[in-house]
Copies of this chain bind each other. A is one copy, B any other.
Amino acid sequence: MAVMYNRVALLGLGLIAGSLSLALKRGGLAGEITGYARSPDTRATAAEIGLVDRVCDTAHAAVKDADLVVLCVPVGAMGALAEEIAPHLKQGAVVSDVGSVKKAVIEAVGPHIPEGVHFIPAHPMAGTEHSGPRSGFAELFDNRWCLIVPAEGSPEPEIARLEQMWQAIGANTERMEVEHHDLVCAVVSHIPHLIAYTMVGVADDLNRVSDSEVIKFSAAGFRDFTRIAASDPTMWRDVFLTNKEATLEVLGRFTEELFALQRAIRTGDGDQLFDYFTRTRAVRRGIIDAGQDTAAPDFGRANKPKTSEPNG
């Protein structure tokens, strides 16, 4: 494929930045990829494994002459990082990010973006429970969605180019309005993560059930929660702190429903439970039909292929 950006700067060198770099290299989409991470250890590891073409010791060195700068740090760190790099951004450069929350990122980063630089927030909805510079892989974005939430006044050609880049590394793209993005993500990602964290915490707490039992018998349903609840704590702390409004709204709906089912259990209302459980089956069917999962009966299976290939 043709080079889409002569120089790409990735700030933060974790799972997403690493996977983005490897995917851009796979596609030959970037002339040079520079990278910066605050932690010297992370920079040393990234340099050692050749995660990017050039690891820089400062953010401003990394963004110098960059045509595309992607903020790949936790949402809570983006504002300060944007302020730090602002004076060093090239005229006409595009600044994007990979944050799971968009309203807070736009509010924190937007004001620092200089005249003549284009801010185009994005959110690749892909990840694993692993983090750090060694966790990336080129296939992470294959067949995943990348939501584009353009800031006001972003030029259409630059928005289209960023979308084409994400498509070129395997992702599907969709433009979304900022508030809607944060609500949708609260439903399909943020609250499911909070619930999984909570359930794992409860299991870990219950003294009458030993940790070894929880671990031993996890395949009965609990296991899927533990994978979700193993995700990066810093990233998720920031998600909840910065998407407060939507997460609290969805959480309110969740507890409302949960209490209704709890009451059905207490009162022995089998019909309500049955009807509820029947309705949720249809959602699953839709996901399989949409190609976002398979019907392979692997629920509760012991071993999954040790591979990062989407087609296992």
Contact = CB atoms under 8 A, between A and B. Distances in A.
A251 B241 contact: no
A28 to B, nearest CB: 23
A79 to B, nearest CB: 15
A226 B202 CA distance: 21
Contacts of A223: 287, 292-293
Interface string A230-259: 110110111011001001101101110111
Contacts of A247: 265
A161 to B, nearest CB: 23
**Contact residues of A: prevailing secondary structure:** helix
Contacts of A76: 270
B215 A187 contact: no
Contacts of A237: 270, 273-274, 277
A240 B267 CA distance: 11
A201 B276 contact: yes
A283 B241 contact: no
Q: For chain A, which range describes its interface: under 10, 10 to 19, 20 to 34, or 35 or more residues? A: 35 or more
Contact of A248 (B248, B262, B293): B262
A59 to B, nearest CB: 23
Contacts of A227: 224, 284, 293, 299
A40 interface: no
Contact of A215 (B205, B286, B302): B286
Contacts of A308: 296-298
Given A211-B286, A255-B258, A221 B196 contact: yes
A197 B261 contact: yes
19 contacts: A184-B214, A187-B203, A189-B220, A192-B221, A198-B257, A199-B254, A204-B280, A215-B287, A224-B224, A229-B280, A230-B283, A233-B274, A233-B278, A236-B273, A240-B264, A248-B262, A248-B265, A293-B302, A303-B310
Interface of A: 76, 125-130, 135, 137, 140, 142-145, 147, 180, 183-185, 187-206, 208-209, 211-231, 233-234, 236-238, 240-241, 244, 247-248, 250-251, 253-255, 257-259, 261-262, 264-266, 268, 270, 273-274, 276-287, 290-308, 310-312
